[in-house]
Structure 1
Amino acid sequence: MVIKVERGSPTPEELAAVVALVQARAAAAESGPDGPPGPGAWSDPARNVPASLPRPGAGAWRTSGWPA
């Protein structure tokens, strides 16, 4: 890994801090994602849609309010 200073003259301590940060980020990227988990199935809006609608016919209006 080559780090090139484009402008200014960093102190050895500043340069060491940058190198340590870059190495830590590279190691974290290799180990895989470590962020917070994504939303679960509970937040999926599709779960609020009934699986199947009642068939038209006698008594269909009664079953339209029943949970699927």
Structure 2
Amino acid sequence: MESSEAVLRVERGVASEEELAALAVVLLALWSHPPVEPEPPPALGWSWWDGSAGYAPPESWR
């Protein structure tokens, strides 16, 4: 970096140069990979609509 502007700031404690470098490497590694989108759930078939496998009392309408 050519500018003297701070990119990271330590709120408490004193971070060494090695700790800041490790943090910068982790942040850059996370930033370089795009987030993985979750797969959509599988589409349900029409088996839930077919009610033939369930119990039907004798006086039920069909």
Residue matched to 1:33: 36
Bigger relative contact order, structure 1 or 2 (CA pairs below 8 A, ≥6 apart) = 1
Residue matched to 2:49: 50
Deviation sequence 1:9-67 (CA, Å, 0-9, x none):
11111110001111111111xx3427xx53652xx5x323136x7xxxxxxxxxx45xx
1:4 aligns with 2:9: yes
Percent of aligned pairs with the same amino acid: 30
- Structure with greater proportional helix content: 1
Count of residue pairs the alignment pairs up: 47
What is the RMSD computed on CA atoms of the aligned residues? 2.9
Unaligned runs of 5+ in 2: 1-5, 54-62
